[in-house]
Amino acid sequence: MKSLVAKRSVVIAGHKTSVSLEDGFWKSLKEIANKRDMTPADLIGEIKSERQHGNLSSAIRLFVLHFYRDQISVKQSAPPQQRDHARRSRHRRTR
């Protein structure tokens, strides 16, 4: 059976390192980096410099989780009209 976790090599500040992430986390990390006009390696370097945990792969997972949790919090604190519009937009996309 194929492992759900893939090991990926990245170069951060000139040093090669590897991270073990599930495809969903890797895809999300790339999307976040793209939104910030960064490469995934640059974003990982930022996460590495600010991490509070020893394991880089875990720090990346927590970063991705917090990024999307923050987005949910912002949407929930939006005025009701904006929340309703967002809900209708999601509903149209799932049809």
More confident residue, 90 or 66: 66
More confident residue, 64 or 77: 64
**Alpha-carbon dihedral of residues 23, 24, 25, 30, nearest 10 degrees?**
90
Q: How is residue 37 annotated by DSSP?
A: T
The residues spanned by each domain of the chain are 5-94
What tokens appear for 1 in the block?
């059976």
What tokens appear for 63 in the block?
């970063």
CATH number 3.90.25.10 is the correct assignment for the domain at 5-94: no
pTM of the model: 0.74
Q: How is residue 49 annotated by DSSP?
A: H
The pLDDT confidence band at residue 94, using thresholds 50, 70 and 90, is very low
Burial profile 60-69: b = 16 or more Cβ within 10 angstroms, e = fewer: bbebbeeeee
